[in-house]
Amino acid sequence: MKRVPGHDGPPQAPAIPRPARRLVVAAWALLGAAVATDLADNPRVTLSPALATVPVLASIGTRRARVPLLAGLAALLLVVPLAFADPDVPLAIHVTSAFTVLAISCISTANVVLIATRERELLRSRSVAAAAQQALLRPVPERIGGLRVAVRYRAAAADAQVGGDLYEVLETPFGVRLLIGDVRGKGLGAVETAADVLGTFREAAQVEADLEAVARRLDATVRRRGIGEEFVTAALLDVPRTGGPVELVNCGHLPPLVRSGGEVTVIEAPPDGGTDPPLALRELVGGPYHSDLFLFGKGDLLLLYTDGVTEARDASGRFYPLERRFAALTESAPGALADRLLSDLLAYAGGELADDAALLVIRREQNT
């Protein structure tokens, strides 16, 4: 196994929360008072068994195995003066205390080693996940084809780097083509499906003049996987270099939002145009894909997103009001706006999301 730079030594222990730190300090203080009392008074009673807590307390907040081991040895040495201070206490009690301290020292040391090993493995896994994310969800260009672009992605799982959301921005012979999608599946299978969809889109977007043909190829890719009830919602967009309207093929995904002059427009499918199903379900519905056009002028902002954004809830269970927040924010630069939206979303949801969330913000800098 290759070594991950910077992760070969003992992992750094996380900071102990203040309430827990206070409890640890109180435990040390009580232990010290017990030892002092035992040495000073009452020769018929011993508190030497309390020394077994020393290696446990020493192991809190460290990832170095020698810390609880040395603390346990020091506690073991303290049993000797306590035995002389309490001559009326049977020697068997002090011997039992010594063996207890020794056993707890071994257990605490082994526990620190186990935790450090697991955390080191987790760091390696995160490094692999970060590399997978770079390969799967490649960084989008900040400027492309007269557009400024920013993307923000947040995985719901605390230790995850990659989930089932996907996005791509490509400059093609037909204009700038964008994709955002959400795999309706779980675990590694969802990541594999996302990789297949992105691979097909990156190839088809460059050679298929018809955006509906790109959608058909994506549908066939997901359908060939044939895994249970897995499907993908996706929105495909084509932004022409000529400054004309944007073409949209929406395969069961959430509608894009366009902010122009402070007003936000939801790009819904026209009533007579029909709606297209998610990828992998085209055969069940039948018929061709539909494309729609919408205006996207100079200075306008286009927002693409996944349902991890709109389905985030506050403490009272209310959904995140994306359309209203998008209209209220004053930022016009895509990067600044994406940052504000993400921080606002996390604050609304109490810092944690129930599903992966992706935001793609595009600003049209020129019409030609």
Q: Higher-confidence residue: 22 or 150? A: 150
pLDDT exceeds cutoff 50 at 309: yes
Model confidence pLDDT, tens digit, residues 176-199? 999 999 988 666 777 788 889 999
Pick the CATH number of 139-364 from 3.60.70.12, 1.10.3720.10, 3.60.40.10, 3.20.20.480: 3.60.40.10
Q: Give, as one character, the DSSP assignment of residue 281.
A: -
pLDDT band at 45 (very low <50, low <70, confident <90, very high): low
Characterise 299 by phi-psi region: left (phi > 0), alpha (psi -120 to 50), beta (else).
left
pLDDT exceeds cutoff 70 at 7: no
Q: What mean pLDDT is reported for the chain?
A: 84
Question: Which of the residue ranges 17-21, 97-101, 172-176, 345-349 would you say has the lowest mean pLDDT?
Answer: 17-21
Annotated domain spans of the chain: 18-132, 139-364
Q: Higher-confidence residue: 347 or 191? A: 347
User: Which two three-digit tokens encode residue 324?
Assistant: 């209203």
Nearest to 52 by CA among 97, 117, 6: 97
Q: Average the pLDDT over 53-78 and give the result.
A: 86
Q: Is 199:135 a contact under the CB 8 Å cutoff? A: no
pLDDT band at 258 (very low <50, low <70, confident <90, very high): very high
Q: Is 248:293 a contact under the CB 8 Å cutoff? A: yes
What does the alpha-carbon distance between residue 300 and residue 361 come to, in Å, rounded to a whole number?
Answer: 10
- Partner residues linked to 259 by β-bridges: 264, 301
pLDDT exceeds cutoff 90 at 348: yes
Model confidence pLDDT, tens digit, residues 103-140? 988 998 898 888 888 888 777 765 655 556 566 778 88
What does the alpha-carbon distance between residue 196 and residue 204 come to, in Å, rounded to a whole number?
Answer: 12
Q: Give, as one character, the DSSP assignment of residue 156.
A: S
Model confidence pLDDT, tens digit, residues 204-238? 999 999 999 999 999 999 988 875 567 899 999 99
Q: Average the pLDDT over 72-96 and give the result.
A: 79
pLDDT exceeds cutoff 50 at 331: yes
Burial 295-306 (b: 16+ CB within 10 A, else e): ebeeebbbbbbb
pTM score, whole prediction? 0.68
Q: Average the pLDDT over 271-279 and give the result.
A: 78
Helices (H), the chain: 18-40, 53-59, 66-85, 91-136, 187-207, 211-225, 282-285, 307-310, 322-328, 334-348
Phi, psi dihedrals of residue 173, rounded to the nearest 5°: -65, -15
Q: How many residues does the chain have?
A: 368
Burial 176-193 (b: 16+ CB within 10 A, else e): bbbbbbbbbbeeeebbbb
3-state DSSP assignment of residue 179:
strand
Burial 271-283 (b: 16+ CB within 10 A, else e): eeeeebbbbbbbe
